[in-house]
Structures are given as C-alpha cells and as structure tokens.
C-alpha cells in the first residue's frame, strides 16, 4: 500500500498523528511541520535522540536578548523564582494542550520586551495582543510573580523581588526554550522538557515546590 501522505512511496510505519501508515521520508519531512506528532511517538523520540541542540549563536540576537546578562550566580540565587515561572508555563500548557513551543517563546519574548522597558525607563506598558492563548500564558506568569511578592511581604515584611530579577528570569527561560526547541512550527520539544521537570502525580499536577525541588533548568 502507498503512503497516506504522498500516495507515491510505500508505507512502512504507522503515524499516530494521522492514524494511518506513511513512508519514512514523509515522516521525516512533515514531522512537527504539518503533523501534530504526539510526544509518545517512537519515531519522534528517536529523531529527538539524534538531534543536536541548537546553539545560541544560531538564533537571532534580538530574540535572545544578549544585552541581558544572566550568569550562573543569578540562577543559583533565584532558583525558586525560575522554578515558579517555569511551573507557570507548565500550568498554561496543561490547561491548553494545543500550545506548542512557538507559543511559549512568543509570549516570553513579549514579556522580556515589556520588562526591559520597565527596567530601563521605569515605564510599564501593556503590549496589545490579539492572541488569547499567549495572553493567558502571560497572565499566568504575572500571577506567579505576584504570588512571590506577596510571599515576600508576608515572610520578610517587604517585597524584595525586583523587576530586573523578573526580566532576567524571563530571558533565562526564553533562552532555554529557544535552545531546547528544534524550531519546527509544531515542535513541543521544550514543552515536553518542562513536563519532565514537573511530572503529574496520579493525574494531579505536582506543586511547583514539590515538582521543581532539586531541579535546575539550564539551557
């Protein structure tokens, strides 16, 4: 029988994305491009195992925010903040399974630009977006930042979290996302990486403190 996609070459493998049999060439060419490949697809897992992570130099300098310095000392000092905002991303994706890596990176880029303006000029502005899904991700991150500041206020008597710290954390997660993702339109490599950091327990999401304890997300 012929491939369900090209209708030319012989089918040799089952594709769970279309619930049909396709040829290896179409599998390789259309994987995470036109096909919504499920994370448990053995061919997707094999491909990822052989893919080399994209180097930072391969990305556009503007979207990588090289002017924002995030050194090792920063993520050691702010591991809980990094874990908390990463958990906010996980919550967003678990609430909307249609989200892919590009949705997360686009949202993080928008947030980084917003906080960079705030840090450099003390002016805060909301960038209008027509993408409801991206706005929900941004709102989830904003809620997590508010929770951190409220916790500091209660425990220390004052909120010490600076906007610059939030900017660096957002940029740190953005760089991790860009390096982890393979760049394909429907890639969920970064999403799956986040799920590994925050596994579900008996069908219930683990808390950020429990799931992220002892885990440091590094590009």
Closest CA to 94 of 86, 106, 82: 86
The ranges of the chain with pLDDT < 50 are: 202-206, 208-219
Q: What is the pTM of this model?
A: 0.86
pLDDT at 215 (0 to 100): 47
Please give the Cα distance from 42 to 145 (Å, whole number).
37
For 200, which DSSP code? E
Contacts of 139 (CB under 8 A, 6+ apart): none
pLDDT value of position 214: 40
| Angle between helix 79-95 and 163-180 (nearest 10) | 60
The whole-number pLDDT of residue 157 equals 86
């Amino acid at each position: 029988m012929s491939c369900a996609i090209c209708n030319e070459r012989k089918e040799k493998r089952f594709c769970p994305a279309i619930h049909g049999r396709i040829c290896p060439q179409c599998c390789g060419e259309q994987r995470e491009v036109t096909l919504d490949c499920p994370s448990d697809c053995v061919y997707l897992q094999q491909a990822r195992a052989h893919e080399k992570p994209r180097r930072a130099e391969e990305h556009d300098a503007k979207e990588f925010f090289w002017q924002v310095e995030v050194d090792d000392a920063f993520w050691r000092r702010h591991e809980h903040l990094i874990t908390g905002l990463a958990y906010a991303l996980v919550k967003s994706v678990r609430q909307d399974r249609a989200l892919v890596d590009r949705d997360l990176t686009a949202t993080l880029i928008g947030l980084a630009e917003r906080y960079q303006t705030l840090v450099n000029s003390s002016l805060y502005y909301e960038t209008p977006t027509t993408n409801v899904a991206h706005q929900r991700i941004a709102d989830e991150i904003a809620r997590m930042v508010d929770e951190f500041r409220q916790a500091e206020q209660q425990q220390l008597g004052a909120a010490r979290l600076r906007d610059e710290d939030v900017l660096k954390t957002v940029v740190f997660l953005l760089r991790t996302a860009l390096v982890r993702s393979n760049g394909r339109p429907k890639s969920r490599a970064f999403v799956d990486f986040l799920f590994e950091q925050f596994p579900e327990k008996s069908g219930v999401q683990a808390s950020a403190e429990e799931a992220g304890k002892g885990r440091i997300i590094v590009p």
